[in-house]
Structure 1
Amino acid sequence: MSSDADGPRQDPAPTLEQHGIEHIPAAERHGKPWHQLTLWFSSNVQMTAVVTGAVAVTLGLDLRWAIVTIVIGNLVGGVFMAYHSVQGPELGVPQMIQSRAQFGFLGGALPSFIVVLMYLGFSVEGGLVGGGALAGWTGMPKPAGIVIFCVLHLLVALVGYKLIHATARVISVLSGIVFLALFVQLATHLPAHLPNSGSAATPGTVLLAVSISISWQVTWAPYVSDYSRYLPEDTPRGTTFWYTYLGSVVGGTATMVIGAMAAAVNDQALNSDAIGFLADRYPAISGLVVFALLMSMIPAGAEGAYGAFLSTLSIFSRKDRLRSPALARALFVIGFTLVGAVLAILSSGSMITTYTNITLFLLYLLIPWTAINLTDYYFVRRGHYDISALFEPNGRYGRCNWGTVILYAVSIAAELPFVNSSLYVGPLVKPLGGADIAWLVGLVVGGVGYCALARSGRRGRAGAEAPPAAGAAPPREQRGATYGR
C-alpha cells in the first residue's frame, strides 16, 4: 500500500488525464472494478479478433476443431493477462514501469521497446482493417480511409484514461448487439457440411491454432494494469482478476468464433474486406453495420496509442512526473498515430497472413517477459515493491539486472526451435507434427529461470525486497507498494 499521506479519497480527476507514468495517489483513485469487464469486453469484441479467429480455419481445421482451439486458447491466455491486471490497483503504476523491478532501471527499456513495437504492429493492422472498410463504404481512396479511421481513435487517446473507459462502456453494448446479430445470421446460413469440412485435424495444427488464440490474450498483458491502476488500492485481487478475465475471455472467444464461422463461409472474401463481408450479411442496413464495426475498433485503437505513450515514457523518462503530461501525451499519440497510418498505407499482402505473423511474433517475445514479471510479482516479491525506487536510476533495483536480461534472451532463444510461422519454421516443428509449442517453452524457461536467479542470491543484486516468511501471508493493508519521498 502507499505510505505517503494521500489523504481521503477525493472526487475523480478532470476528464483530461493529468498523469503520466507516476504513482496514482489514493486520493485520486476512482472507478469500479466492473469497469474492467466492459473495457476488456469491448477491447475484444472487435474486428481484429474476428481476423484472429479466422486463422484457425485458414490453417485447415474444420469449424468444430477451430472452435475448440479458440476456446482453449482464450481460457489459457486470459489467465496471464488477468493476473497482470491485479497489479494495477496494488501498485498504482503502468505495467511496463513495474518491469524495472525485474530488469533494472535501464534494463527495463528492453521489454518496453518490444511492447511499443507491438502497439505499432496492431496500429498498422487496425488501420488496414478499419481504413480499408471505411474506404469501401464511402468510396474514398484507401489512404484517406486509413487516415480518418486513425484520427477517430486518436481523439480518445488524447483525453486519456477516463474517456477510454467511458467509450468502452458504450461500445461494449453496441458491439455486443452487432456481433450477436452476425452470429445468428452466420449460424443460420452455414451449410450443413461445414462442420465436417476442411483438412483432418492433426495435433500439430491444433496446437498451432491454440497458440494463436493464446497469443491474442497474452498480447493484452502489457496493457492491463495501465487501465486498473486508478482503482482503489483496497480492491480485492479476486475481483480485479475475474472482471478482467471474464470480459477478455468471453469477448475474445465469442468474437473469434464468429471469425471462424465467417471464414468457413468464405475465407477469401473475409481476407479481402472483413468488415465489408460481414456488413453484407445484412444488406438492407449494411451501412449501419459498417459503422458499428468501425466503432468497435475505437477502444482498442485508443488503448494502443495511449499504452505506447506510457511504455515509451518508461524507456526514456528519468522522472516520475512530467511538467505537462497531457501535452506530452498529445504530442506523442499524434506522432505515433501518424507513423501507424503511414505504415498501414504502405502495407500490402494477405491481411490474415500478416496478422498471423504479427501475433505469433509478439507471442514469442512477450511470453518470456510475462513469465518473468508474474513470477517476480506472485512468487518472489509477493506483491511488495518500493515504488519510489522504480524511478531512481541508482536505486535498489539497479540500472541493469544483467541476469534477468540474459535470461530473457535465453528464453527467446529456447523458443526458436519450436517456432512455426510462415516466416520461419524451427527444426523441431516437423518432428512434433507441425505443433508450435514455443510459447510453452518460453513460459517454462522464463518462469523457472527467474525463480532460480532469485534463489541463487542474484535477487539481492536486483534489489528485491525480502518477502514475508513462507506461509505467513501479509495483512491486506501491508500488501503492495511502499512509496516515499
Structure 2
Amino acid sequence: MIEKRSIEFVPHSERYGRPRRLFSVWFSSNLQVTALMVGTLGVASGLSLLWTLAGLVIGCMLGTVFMAAHSAQGPHLGVPQMIQSRAQFGVFGAAIPLLVMVTAAVLFMAASGVLLRDPLKALLPVTDNQAIVIVAVATFLIGVVGYELIHRLGAWMSVLSSVVFGAALILILTRANVSGILPSEAGGFSMPVFNLVIAQAASWTLGYGPYVADYSRYLPADVDTRHTFWTTYFGCALGSLGMMALGATLAAVVPSALSVDPGSAIANLFGPWAPAALVVIALGVIQYNVLCLYSAYMSTTTIFSGFARLQQVRQGTKSLLMAVLSVLACAIATQTQYHFDTFFADILIGQLYLLIPWSAINLVDYYVVRRGSYSIDDLYDAQGRYGGWNRKTMMVYGVSIIGTVPFMKLSFFEGYFARLIGADVSWIAGLVLAGLLYLIFNGSRVCSPWHFQRL
C-alpha cells in the first residue's frame, strides 16, 4: 500500500479507480471539527443562526465550484496540481504560489492540532503539548503510506463520521433549548459579519484548490470530466456545509459550547458514549491533517525539484520532508494554542487573499487559454516551452494581490473599500482581477480544444 509515486506523471498503466471514490475522500475530510469551527464563527460574532446558515450555503456553494474545477484536471494530466502550475508561472516561478500553499497547509495542520488537544486529553493522560505531538505523529505515519490509505480511510470515515455527527445534530435539537434558532432571540443581521461568513466558508473549500488534483491524478485519463467534477463538488460541498451548519447550530442552541473546544462539546452530548465519539472525532481531524501534510509535502518537493531538475523522490526523502513539516506544525500549534480563535479566523481569510488569484490564473489557463493542452515533459524542464520564470504571470499574480488590499478586512487591518462597504469582498475582486489580467496577457495563445500532448 505504500505509495511509490510522488511528483512525477502517473503512467496510464498504473491508473485505476472511479470518480466516485473522490466523493468519500472529500466528504469525510470535511466531516470533522475543524470545519465545524468555521460554522461557529458567525454566531460567535453576533449573527443569527438563520443568517449564518444562509452565508455558509452561499460560501460553500461558490467556493466548491473552483475547487472541483481544479480536481477535474487530475485524470486528464496525471500530475500533482502544483506541478501543472508550472505551465503558468514557469518551472522556477511556480515556487511562489507553492510557498503560499505550504504555509497554508502547515497552518491548518497546527490549527487541527490545537482543536484536537482537549479531546485527546479527555481520552489519554497527556499534557497540552503532548496531545499536539500525538496528532502530529499519527498524521505523519498515515501520510508516509500515502495515496491509497488516504482513500481507504476516507471511505471508512464517511460512514463513522456521518453516524456520530448526525446523531449529534439530533441530540442538540432534542435535548437543548432551541429558542436560539429564532433570529430575534439570538442576534440579528450585520452585513459585514454576513459577508465575512461567506468569505470564511468560501475560503475553506477554496483552500483545497492547490492540491485537490493530487487525489484524482491516479484515475484513468478517459474518465468523464463531468463525473470527476460533480463527485468532488458534492463530496466537498455536502461535507463542509453539513459540518459548518452543525457548528452554527451548536453555537446558537448551546452557547456554552463556545467556551470549550468543539470536539469535546460534541462528545459531551453522548454521555457515557462520549469516549467512543471522541475516537471518531479524533480520527476525522487526523484524516484532514493527513491531506494537509501530504499536499504540503508534494508542494515542498515541487519547489525543490524545479531547481534540482528532479522528477522522482525517494521514500527516505519523502519521510524526512514530512517529518520536518510535522515538527513545524507542532511548533506553531504549541505557540498559538492559547489565542487560537483570532489565529484561526485570520488564516482562513489570509489564505483567501493569496489563493484566489492563483486559482483564477490556473483555471483561466486550463479551461480558456490552453484548454487542457499541455506538454507534461516540459513541466519538468526549465529549458522547455514553459521556461524557468514567467514574469508576466508573476506580475499578474502580484498586481492581483495588491489590488485586493483596499477590499481586505482582518483583525489587525481594514482596507478603504472594506470600510466603505462594511464588508470584506476582496475574494471577488481578486478573482475578477487575476482572471481578466491573465486573459489579457495570454489571450493570443488560445489553443484548439482539449489537445493533450505528452512528448
Please state which band the TM-score falls in when normalised by the shorter chain. over 0.9
Q: State whether structure 2 residue 447 is matched by structure 1 residue 467.
A: yes
- RMSD (Å) for aligned C-alpha atoms: 1.5
Residues 127-166 of structure 1, C-alpha deviations (whole Å, 9 max, x = no match):
1011232123323111111111221121110111111111
Q: Percent identity?
A: 36
Distance between the aligned counterparts of 1:160 and 1:313, measured in 2?
Answer: 15
1:332 pairs with one of 321, 326, 338: 321
When normalised by structure 2's length, the TM-score is 0.96
The residue matched to 1:244 in structure 2 has which SS? helix
Code of the aligned partner of 2:236: S
Query: 1:189 offset after TM fit, Å?
Result: 3.4
Map of 2:364 onto structure 1: 375
Map of 1:161 onto structure 2: 147
2:214 pairs with one of 226, 231, 236: 226
Map of 1:11 onto structure 2: none
- With 403-412 and 241-250 compared, the bigger mean Cα shift is at 403-412
TM superposition outliers: structure 1 runs of 4+ over 6 Å = none
Map of 2:138 onto structure 1: 152
Say if 1:327 and 1:445 are closer, same or farther in 2 by CA, change over 3 A. Answer: same
* Structural mapping, 1:388-399, within 5 Å: 388-399=377-388
Map of 1:174 onto structure 2: 160
Code of the aligned partner of 1:274: P
Code of the aligned partner of 2:280: A
- With 340-349 and 145-154 compared, the bigger mean Cα shift is at 340-349
Query: 1:248 offset after TM fit, Å?
Result: 0.2
Q: State whether structure 2 residue 454 is matched by structure 1 residue 483.
A: yes
Structure with the larger helix share: 2
1:47 pairs with one of 33, 49, 66: 33
Q: Unaligned stretches of 5+ in structure 2?
A: none
**Residues 100 and 390 of structure 1 are in contact (CA less than 8 Å); yes or no, is this contact kept in structure 2?**
yes
The residue matched to 2:416 in structure 1 has which SS? coil
Say if 1:214 and 1:323 are closer, same or farther in 2 by CA, change over 3 A. Answer: closer
1:448 pairs with one of 426, 436, 449: 436
Code of the aligned partner of 1:375: V
- With 362-371 and 390-399 compared, the bigger mean Cα shift is at 390-399
**Residues 62 and 198 of structure 1 are in contact (CA less than 8 Å); yes or no, is this contact kept in structure 2?**
yes
1:410 pairs with one of 396, 399, 402: 399
Code of the aligned partner of 2:163: I
When normalised by structure 1's length, the TM-score is 0.90
Distance between the aligned counterparts of 1:406 and 1:76, measured in 2?
Answer: 26
The residue matched to 1:386 in structure 2 has which SS? coil
Map of 1:10 onto structure 2: none
Distance between the aligned counterparts of 1:323 and 1:171, measured in 2?
Answer: 29
**Residues 135 and 144 of structure 1 are in contact (CA less than 8 Å); yes or no, is this contact kept in structure 2?**
no
Query: 1:216 offset after TM fit, Å?
Result: 0.6
Distance between the aligned counterparts of 1:437 and 1:405, measured in 2?
Answer: 23
Distance between the aligned counterparts of 2:339 and 2:206, measured in 1?
Answer: 23
Query: 1:212 offset after TM fit, Å?
Result: 0.7
Q: State whether structure 2 residue 55 is matched by structure 1 residue 69.
A: yes
Q: State whether structure 2 residue 312 is matched by structure 1 residue 322.
A: yes
**Residues 368 and 442 of structure 1 are in contact (CA less than 8 Å); yes or no, is this contact kept in structure 2?**
yes
- With 54-63 and 243-252 compared, the bigger mean Cα shift is at 54-63
Q: State whether structure 2 residue 126 is matched by structure 1 residue 137.
A: no
Distance between the aligned counterparts of 1:149 and 1:209, measured in 2?
Answer: 28
The residue matched to 2:382 in structure 1 has which SS? coil
- With 190-199 and 383-392 compared, the bigger mean Cα shift is at 190-199
Distance between the aligned counterparts of 1:167 and 1:53, measured in 2?
Answer: 24
Q: Number of residue pairs matched?
A: 451
Query: 1:303 offset after TM fit, Å?
Result: 1.1
**Residues 272 and 351 of structure 1 are in contact (CA less than 8 Å); yes or no, is this contact kept in structure 2?**
no
Residues 10-63 of structure 1, C-alpha deviations (whole Å, 9 max, x = no match):
xxxxx1111110100100001221110000001111110000111111121111
Code of the aligned partner of 1:415: T
Distance between the aligned counterparts of 1:409 and 1:67, measured in 2?
Answer: 34
2:67 pairs with one of 77, 81, 86: 81
**Residues 21 and 97 of structure 1 are in contact (CA less than 8 Å); yes or no, is this contact kept in structure 2?**
yes
Q: State whether structure 2 residue 280 is matched by structure 1 residue 292.
A: yes
The residue matched to 1:193 in structure 2 has which SS? helix
**Residues 271 and 351 of structure 1 are in contact (CA less than 8 Å); yes or no, is this contact kept in structure 2?**
no
Distance between the aligned counterparts of 2:256 and 2:436, measured in 1?
Answer: 43
Q: Unaligned stretches of 5+ in structure 1?
A: 1-14, 460-465
Query: 1:275 offset after TM fit, Å?
Result: 1.1
Query: 1:267 offset after TM fit, Å?
Result: 4.6
The residue matched to 2:374 in structure 1 has which SS? strand
Distance between the aligned counterparts of 1:135 and 1:156, measured in 2?
Answer: 21
Map of 2:390 onto structure 1: 401
Map of 1:272 onto structure 2: 260
- With 105-114 and 340-349 compared, the bigger mean Cα shift is at 340-349
Distance between the aligned counterparts of 2:312 and 2:201, measured in 1?
Answer: 38
- With 307-316 and 239-248 compared, the bigger mean Cα shift is at 307-316
Residues 272-313 of structure 1, C-alpha deviations (whole Å, 9 max, x = no match):
322111111111111111111001112211111111111011
**Residues 271 and 350 of structure 1 are in contact (CA less than 8 Å); yes or no, is this contact kept in structure 2?**
no
